[in-house]
Amino acid sequence: MTAKTLTITLPDDWHVHLRSGALLNAVLPFSARHFGRAIVMPNLQPPVVKTADALVYRQEIAAALPANSHFQPLMTLYLTEQTDPEDVKQGFLSGVVTAVKLYPAGATTNSAAGVKNIEAVYPVLEVMEAIGMPLLVHGEVVDPEVDIFDREAVFIEKKLQPLRVRFPKLKVVFEHLTTKDGVDYVKSCAQYTAATLTPHHLVINRNAMLVGGIKPHYYCLPVAKREIHRLALVEAATSGDARFFLGTDSAPHLDQAKLSACGCAGIFNVANTLSIVTQVFENNNALNQLERFTSYNGARFYGLPINQGQLVLERHNEPLPVPEALSLSQGSLTVFDPLMPVYWAVKQVITP
């Protein structure tokens, strides 16, 4: 019997943390192997706030790429209350910067310089709306009175909805959606709103993190929610709806930083993202929609061409082992274990 294979257009990753320095060198080959392009998050220390910073960071990434790599990093700027609309415009029009990321101040890793008062950035948003530049949103409120499991739903009502009304044609990507509320909201919007979904939020709920002992490798932001929310995310991803696409939110932290009394948020998953996502689609009888989610919907929303390359997946007869932790000189980096059997592996990448 010949092995079952599936060939899809080369995917893109619409949300990834590549970091810098040694960590960048360790994780970049995994992104470069399976993805044509990736939207690179700007939350370095210090953050990537100006077009000139994005240019420097893009050069660092280019220098770390394997020889002959086709991979294209798409750069983002970290929105602050001091961001200059003219710099954003020039960055976009010159092709250096693809999008701007909004982190509510304090919402997640390295977000202290984020936005406290959204009205302070209205001049930037006005320019972005006019030139068709996407705003990428970390959709959680940071109000200490709001329960961490409710922060996404409250963000929609208190922050996102008013923003949508004020800037109806601004392209907004609601990043790493984790709730049914978020799915329902995105579905209720017109064509200018979309969302990324991560592999981990498609397979785990909060039990993975909290049952049978606390499991830091399942801690990320936004935190995984109840099963009812995970099911809504899976439905959105596998439905073929053009507003939902893959953003891995692969966010590597060395194991020692995660396995701590105050562990870092983030899951490193690009080494097995495509295996896992393909398995999710197979488990939901939706392999025919996989390519839309991984390779079409995001490019269309961003107004970019579909990748020329292809990726061949092969279904094995036995479940595959979770990739081994990476061993860096500073310590180990654990790869996401989806806690379910995964039979699909990337067999080949065909570049044009």
Residues designated catalytic: 249
Q: Of residues 10, 16, 17, 298, which one binds ligand NCD by CB under 6 A?
A: 17
Interaction between residue 282 and Zn ion (CB under 5 A): no
Least distance to Zn ion, CB of residue 310, Å = 27
Q: Return the residues of window 244-303 that contact ligand NCD according to CB under 6 A.
A: 249, 251, 265-266
The residue among 318, 320, 180, 326 whose CA lies nearest residue 250 is 326
Interaction between residue 138 and ligand NCD (CB under 6 A): yes
Residue 39 binding: pick among Zn ion, ligand NCD, none (C-beta 5-8 Å cut-off by kind): none
Distance between CA atoms of residues 70 and 181, nearest Å: 37
Interaction between residue 217 and ligand NCD (CB under 6 A): no
Least distance to Zn ion, CB of residue 197, Å = 12
Interaction between residue 43 and ligand NCD (CB under 6 A): yes
Interaction between residue 249 and Zn ion (CB under 5 A): yes
Q: Of residues 31, 108, 248, 289, which one binds ligand NCD by CB under 6 A?
A: 108
Residue 108 binding: pick among ligand NCD, Zn ion, none (C-beta 5-8 Å cut-off by kind): ligand NCD
Least distance to ligand NCD, CB of residue 227, Å = 20
Cβ closer to ligand NCD: 313 or 326? 326
β-bridge partners, 172:
135, 193
Interaction between residue 220 and ligand NCD (CB under 6 A): yes
Q: Of residues 90, 109, 239, 284, which one binds ligand NCD by CB under 6 A?
A: 109
Least distance to Zn ion, CB of residue 68, Å = 28
Interaction between residue 163 and ligand NCD (CB under 6 A): no
Cβ closer to ligand NCD: 195 or 221? 221
Q: What is the 3-state secondary structure (H, E, C) of the chain?
A: CCCEEEEEECCCEEEECCCCHHHHHHHHHHHHHHCCEEEECCCCCCCCCCHHHHHHHHHHHHHHCCCCCCCEEEEEEECCCCCCHHHHHHHHHCCCEEEEEECECCCCCCCCCCECCHHHHHHHHHHHHHHCCCEEECCCCCCCCCCHHHHHHHHHHHHHHHHHHHCCCCCEEECCCCCHHHHHHHHHCCCCEEEEECHHHHHCCCHHHHCCCCCHHHCCCCCCCCHHHHHHHHHHHHCCCCCEEECCCECCCCHHHHCCCCCCCCECCCCCHHHHHHHHHHHCCCHHHHHHHHHHHHHHHHCCCCCCCEEEEEECCCCCCCCCCEEECCEEECCCCCCCCCCEEEEEEECC
Binding range to Zn ion, per CB under 5 A, among 141-149, 164-172, 241-249, 299-307: 241-249
Q: Which amino acid is at 212?
A: G
Q: Of residues 8, 221, 274, 287, which one binds ligand NCD by CB under 6 A?
A: 221
Least distance to Zn ion, CB of residue 189, Å = 21
Least distance to ligand NCD, CB of residue 43, Å = 5
Residues at the site binding ligand NCD, with contacts judged by CB under 6 A: 17, 43, 108-109, 138, 220-221, 249, 251, 265-266
Residues at the site binding Zn ion, with contacts judged by CB under 5 A: 249
